[in-house]
Amino acid sequence: MPLRPPAGYIYPGYDPLQVPNAPTIGTATGGDAQASVAFTAPSNVGGSAISAYYAVSNPDRITASGASSPVTVTGLTNGTAYTFQVWALNTFGPSPFSAASGSVTPAPPYAFWFGGSTGGNVIDRVAVTSLSNAIDFADFGTGLPTASTAAGGSNTRAVLAANNTTSNVIQYFTYAAGGVTADFGDLTALIAAMAGCSNNTRAVFAGGDNGSTASVATMNYVTIATTGNAISFGNLSVARGWAQGCATSTRGVFGGGNDFASGAYYNILDYITIATTGNAIDFGDLTVERERISSCSNATRGIWAGGRTTGGTRVNVIDYVTMASTGNATDFGDMLYAAQGMAAACTATRGLIAGGQTTVGFNNINYITIDSAGNAIDFGDLSRTHAGFCATCDGNPAQQP
């Protein structure tokens, strides 16, 4: 039998000629034990204004309400496939149900780590919400160097570029597919040691080395949903490699790095407006100049962790900035160890910083609560030692438009 609104909403004042028409179902989007159900309000609201909308799951008939689209249904079981129907309520009673949505399977947000100078072509994955070890989830396809150092991505796809030798290769990885990477296109030039950042629409790759004599300031961008060659975006304020970037839905910030020719280390922070091409603008400074740094962000804060400073000294420093406000970085706390070449990924609440090396490679995963300064805490381990690699997360709201 079709789902029906709760019987308690049908009362003596019920008038089937005055109730709203059914809403038009949209797309259901899964999250961690929840789903966001989009719909379009009916043009005929009946004899009075609609007071609420209700979304109901199938199976389990878990119900949530809201004043407008979308309605978020919580209390779902991760790994279970659900469809949803929506109905509207006014003072005369409930509307009919909408058609059913497409099927969606809730899942926790996952962090993914790609390759590395010691990790080979391995792609590791771990659920960000539960302290645990990462698993060997998939492998790079042919053509992408295993020591990938720049990544961007949407909530469905990671885009990976460059390495520590020089390459113009860009590949992509679809999170849900769990297979090997595939060809995306090419950068505008052969570049090593780039930095990357992205929102849900566009990935930007910045700086790097030309592999022989000099660092570059060049920035490239790609539209994540559409494969093809990269396009010139503009330039960083200073040419440098081994920097790292992070982003909100509107702004990217690149920090740290070094100059290939002079060996100078930088504490520079630059920012860009991701939707608008142009040269980067001064944001402020990190607390310590360093290269081979890692970074991640949520919708409000950017984090830079670890790296190697002047004289080759590795540090365990974690800095943060408020992404919407230019200014110098503030000390956040310390990593569990001092290392370079780590890779980090974030959700709205938690950052995971993993791998890296001193004289040897690490497989440790550190975590922080992004909005609460403090020292990093042990999360678990990668499947093997990794360094000089990159990371993304499939559930970062900073990447949502």
pLDDT at res. 166 = 66
Q: Could you tell me which residues come within 8 angstroms of residue 88 by beta carbon, excluding any fewer than 6 positions away? A: 20, 21, 22, 23, 41, 42, 45, 50, 52, 53, 54, 94, 95
Per residue of the chain (401 residues), give pLDDT as tens. Answer: 334 555 555 556 778 889 999 999 999 988 889 999 999 999 999 999 999 999 999 999 999 999 999 999 999 999 999 999 999 999 999 999 999 999 999 999 999 998 877 667 888 999 999 999 999 998 876 655 556 668 888 888 999 886 666 678 898 999 888 788 888 999 998 888 899 999 999 999 999 988 667 899 999 999 999 999 999 999 999 999 999 999 999 999 999 999 988 889 999 999 999 999 999 999 999 999 999 999 999 999 999 999 999 888 999 999 999 999 999 999 999 999 999 999 999 998 999 999 998 777 789 999 999 999 999 999 999 998 888 888 999 877 665 54
Residue type, 68: S
Tokens coding 70: 């979308």
Domain topology for 110-399: Neuraminidase (2.120.10)
In this structure, the dihedral spanned by the alpha carbons of residues 253, 254, 256 and 259, taken in order and rounded to 10 degrees, is: -150
CATH number for domain 7-94, candidates 3.30.360.10, 2.60.40.10, 1.10.3720.10, 3.30.460.10: 2.60.40.10
Q: Which residues pair with 29 in a beta bridge?
A: 36
pLDDT at res. 401 = 41
pLDDT at res. 147 = 62
First-to-final CA distance of the chain? 39
**Would you list the domain boundaries of the chain?**
7-94, 110-399
Tokens coding 170: 């860009």
Please give the Cα distance from 260 to 82 (Å, whole number): 53
Q: Taking a C-beta distance cutoff of 8 angstroms, is the pair 288, 257 a contact?
A: no
pTM of the predicted protein model: 0.87
